[in-house]
Amino acid sequence: MAVSHVIEDEQALIAAIREIAQERVAPRAAEIDHSGQFPWDMKELLAQQDILGMPFPEKYGGIGASELAIVMAIEELSRCCATTGLILAVQQLGSLPILLGGTEEQKQKYFPRLATGEWLAAFGLTEAGSGSDAAAMTTHAVRKGDTYILNGSKRFITNGGLAQVNSVFAQTDPSKGTRGISAFIVEKDFPGFSVGRIEDKMGIKGSQTAELIFNDCEVPAENLLGREGDGFKLAMMTLDRTRPGIGAQAVGIAQGALDLAVAYSKQRVQFNKPIAENQGIQFMLADMATQVEAARLMVYNAAEMIDQGNKSLSKYSAMAKMFASDAAISVTNDAIQVLGGYGYMKEYPAERMMRDAKITQIYEGTNQIQRLVIARALLTAQA
């Protein structure tokens, strides 16, 4: 699909990323999934090619890419390996609270090393008892002089234990509900900060997901993002702007599955002809392609709304993430069906793609939460 809104330099960048993904990322995808180890070589590849610098302004050593270009990059990488695409997506997710609420000093301190990929970022919102209900978090922070003391834990954190820079949310005034949540930049080596269990996951197995533990963790007061009580607002603003990236990951996975199904259907011969000549298979492929294209359009639209500063962003961001992730599940399921018994075997990547696709319906807000966001936007507009 041609997208005229991407400037010429960004078009060239996306074309280069597509080539890198096909030549360097795709051959590693199966082994990354099999080993379950974080792919440091892929992180270095993205860093060396300045891909990890895309979300950061040029003044801090980044590329300052548009959101549309960023989601296109995530899509191209995820088309070959969802874990590798997630490295870029989470580098943006973990650093965006600093971009939105940080001081100039904070940006100068953290962004140059994040933009080069020397440092990784993580986003610490979810807890064991606080997933969709973010306001139920129990991690809390108390100010003592020039330091905040954090106690509690976070669960299911992507890049947990690997990230040097963690955007962490904690209650500073529980009596105020969501308005009592504050955000902090927590460095990996701060006293009292440790890593708990490393999760064994169904998909995106090369991406490390871990528990973060704060036991009288000492955070300098200068690492508060914005003011006390700004945390929940910063978290929601961040997710509004990063959900299209998860939608892009879903689109990439679905496109990869579609590519596989089309190629296989041309090669697989049954009843003396390629199965691609069967109308039943043709209809499946047509439906799969239509779902992928519709999802892509929704993701790109949401990304452009971010670039334009559109105030209706939240609804369309939720729509894009919800639709694209549901489409990814549908398309990968159909790809397995097209491949038949081979689709169920690890010899082919279809089953990996389906396992990877499932998480896109869950993280950065379950699709049930996305439906709530959409419905509330609709009902508020009509009130």
Active site amino acids: 364
| Structure token digits, residue 23 | 């030549």
Torsion of CA 266, 350, 289, 81, to 10 degrees: -120
- 299 within 8 A of 71, measured Cβ to Cβ: yes
Lookup result for tokens 């400037």: 7
Enumerate residues 6+ apart whose C-beta is below 8 A from 39: 28, 32, 83, 84, 87, 206
Q: Which residues of 355-369 are buried (b: 16+ CB within 10 A; e: fewer)?
A: bbbbbbbbbbbebeb
**Nearest-angstrom CA–CA distance, 276 and 104:** 57
Lookup result for tokens 């197995």: 205
Q: Which residues of 153-164 are buried (b: 16+ CB within 10 A; e: fewer)?
A: bbbbbbbbbbbb
**Nearest-angstrom CA–CA distance, 349 and 341:** 13
- 114 within 8 A of 56, measured Cβ to Cβ: yes
